[in-house]
Amino acid sequence: MKNLFALLAIYVALSMPVFSQVKVTGKVEDADLHSPLKGATVRITGSYTTAYSDAEGNFVLTNLKIAKQSLEISYIGYETKKLEFVAHKDTSVVLLLKKKTVLADEIEIKAVRAGENDPMTSDKMDSKQIAEKNMGQDITYIMGLTPSAVVTSDAGTGVGYTGIRIRGTDPTRINVTINGIPVNDAESQGTYWVDLPDIASLVDNMQIQRGVGTSTNGAGAFGASLNIQTSKLDTIPNATINSSYGSFNTLKNTVAFSTGLIDKKWAFDGRLSKITSDGFIDRAFSDLKSFYVSGGYYGKKSILKLVIFSGKERTYQAWYGVPEARLKNDTAGMNRLYVNGEISQSQYENMLTSNNRTFNIYTYSNQTDNYQQDYYQLLYSYEMNKNWNLNAALHFTKGEGYYEEYIENDQLKNYGLQNVVVNNDTITSTPLIRQLWLNNDFYGFTYSVNYDNHKKIQAVIGGAANSYLGAHYGMVTWAQYASNSFPDLKYYDDTARKNDVNIFCKLNYQLTKKVSLYGDMQYRTIYYSFLGFNEYLQNVQQNAKLNFLNPKAG
C-alpha cells in the first residue's frame, strides 16, 4: 500500500504543469533613428506583468511561465506594437517602434505627472486594468486596491458618496486633475466623486503619486496626487452596451460609441451612464446620471480636442454614520447623545428601535443631496520637433445644487425671522425644512512646454491661472411658524472669489544608468475673498493673499 501511495504521488508530481523562471530582456528604439525610447510600456497581454524601458531603452520581464506569450509595447507618439513568442528559455529582443502618421495619442499633460525615474512613489493603471476592476462602484474603490489607500462609502455599497484616504490623509490634501485640469473644490479643497458617476468607464489611464509628489495645478498635494487622463483616440469605429446588477438593487447601465478616425483627421466619441442603488444603509439610495462627449482634430503634429462631461446626482443623506452607542446597543450612550443635544428627540427614538448595522439617523423623506457639475475642456497639443512639445488647455466647470434637510426645532432668529406671538405666548423656535445651495464657476487655463532628448535630459516648464466664483446661500422652504418669511427667502448669502496662479519648472538629469538627479521649483500666489468672522465675531468680508515657493529635489 505504501508503494502504491508513493507511485501515485510521483505520478501527480509529474502531471503538474512546470513553471520556470524564464526572463525576457530587450531594448525599445525608434525605428528610424534607432535611438532608445525611455519610459516605453512593455506588457504581457492579459496580465499585470509590466515593465518600463530605462534611459537606454532597456527593460526586463521576469518570472514568465513556459507558454505562448504576447507582448504589447506602447509609447506616446508611436504606434503600439504586438509581438507573439513562445517563452521556453531566456530571450533577448530589440523592439522598433514607428512614429504615428498622425499625433493619435491623447493630450497628456505630462507636467503634472511623475516620470519613471523621478524620486516619487507612484502607481499607474491603464484602461484594461481599470475595466477589469470596474464593477459600477466609484473610481475610489479601484484606487483603493493600490498601496496605502483606504476607501469609505456613506451608503455602504461604494455607490453615492465615497471617500478615500491615502497614507492617512483626507481628500482635502489629495490633489486631483483630469487631463491636467484641477478638479478639487477651490474652497473646501475636497473632491466629490459622487459628481463624477461612472468616470471609470472613460478613463484611459491614471497615475497615483503618494506623498507630496511633483508640482501640479490646483489644490495642495500633501497626501497624494491623482492624475486622470480620459479616453484616447480609437481609430476603429465601435459601440458598446454594458449593464451590471448587484446587491441592494445596484444597477449600472452604460452606452458608449466611437466614430474612429474619419478622413484620417477627425474623431468623435461619447458615453451615457446611469447608476442606481438602494444602499446598504437605511434609505441611503443613489440616483446618478452622467454623459461624456468629445470631438477632436488629429494632425501630423497637433491635436485640438473639445471634451464635455457632466454628472448629476440625487442621494439620500447617510453621512452621519452609525454611532458607536448604536452598534454596541448601548442605551446609556444613546441617552447621552440626546441629553447633550447631538441628536433630536425623533432621531433618538429612531435610534432606540432601528437595526444596528444599517441605522440611518435621518428619516425625513426628502433628506437628499442634489447636485450637477458640468466640465468643459478645450485641449491643444503641438509637437514642435522630436525633442519639444507644447500642451495648453482652456477649461470651465459649472456646479449648482443643494442639500435639503429637516430641522426638528431651531431658533427663528437664526433665519432672520421674528418671534411669533399666539394668545400672549411668544414662540421663538420652529420645525422647518431648509435648503443649502452652492452655485460655482471655475475657469482658467493651463500650459506646459516639455523637453526630452531621449537620452539624459527631461525638462518641463508649466503652470496655470485659475479663477473661482462661488455663491453660498440658504433658503427656508417650509416652517411651522413662518413669521415674516416670504417665498425664496435667503437667510444667508455669501459669495467667495479665489484666484490661483502658479508656474513651475522640473528637470531630470540621467547622471549614470542607475543614478538620476531631479529638481522641481514652483511659485504660487493665491488671492481669496470670502465672508467670515473677524476677531470680534463680526461677519464681515475678508481678504487673504498668500505667496508660496515650493522647492523639491531628489
Q: Specify the range with the lowest mean pLDDT, choosing from 10-14, 67-71, 284-288, 349-353.
A: 10-14
- Residue 7 reports pLDDT greater than 70: no
C-alpha cell at 286: 443613489
CB-based burial label for 33 (10 Å; 0-12, 13-18, 19+): exposed
pLDDT of residue 160: 92
Higher-confidence residue of 532 and 381: namely 381
Q: Specify the range with the lowest mean pLDDT, choosing from 7-21, 157-171, 190-204.
A: 7-21
Q: What is the pLDDT of residues 403-431, one digit of tens each?
A: 999 998 899 988 888 898 888 888 899 99
- Residue 10 reports pLDDT greater than 50: no
pLDDT of residue 542: 87
Structure-derived torsion over alpha carbons of residues 483, 486, 491, 493, reported in degrees to the nearest 10: -170
Sort strands 388-411 and 368-383 into parallel, antiparallel or unpaired. Answer: antiparallel
**Band of residue 177 on the pLDDT scale cut at 50, 70, 90:** very high
Q: What is the pLDDT of residues 456-472, one digit of tens each?
A: 888 999 999 999 999 99
pLDDT of residue 48: 67
pLDDT of residue 124: 85
The DSSP code sequence of 314-377 is EEE--TT---HHHHTT-HHHHHHHHHTTSS-HHHHHHHHHS-STT--S---TT-EEEEEEEEEE
- Residue 449 reports pLDDT greater than 60: yes
Q: What is the pLDDT of residues 217-276, one digit of tens each?
A: 888 888 899 999 988 888 889 999 999 999 999 999 999 999 988 988 899 999 999 999
pLDDT of residue 18: 45
**Band of residue 109 on the pLDDT scale cut at 50, 70, 90:** low
C-alpha cell at 5: 501511495
Pick from 238, 245, 268, 242: which is nearest to 255 by CA?
242
CB-based burial label for 535 (10 Å; 0-12, 13-18, 19+): exposed
Q: CA–CA separation, 143 vs 140, rounded Å?
A: 5
Higher-confidence residue of 240 and 328: namely 240
Instruction: Write down the residue that cell numbers 495642495 correspond to.
Output: 220
pLDDT of residue 348: 82
Q: CA–CA separation, 11 vs 410, rounded Å?
A: 80
pLDDT of residue 424: 82
- Residue 14 reports pLDDT greater than 50: no
Q: CA–CA separation, 508 vs 459, rounded Å?
A: 6
pLDDT mean over 526-542: 80
Q: Quote the pTM value.
A: 0.81
pLDDT of residue 431: 92
Q: What is the pLDDT of residues 370-397, one digit of tens each?
A: 999 999 999 999 988 888 899 999 999 9
Higher-confidence residue of 197 and 326: namely 197
Q: CA–CA separation, 397 vs 11, rounded Å?
A: 66
Pick from 10, 105, 49, 433: which is nearest to 298 by CA?
105
Pick from 6, 111, 224, 97: which is nearest to 459 by CA?
111
**Band of residue 432 on the pLDDT scale cut at 50, 70, 90:** very high
pLDDT of residue 398: 97
The rounded Cα 66 to chain-centroid distance in angstroms is 38
Q: CA–CA separation, 396 vs 392, rounded Å?
A: 14
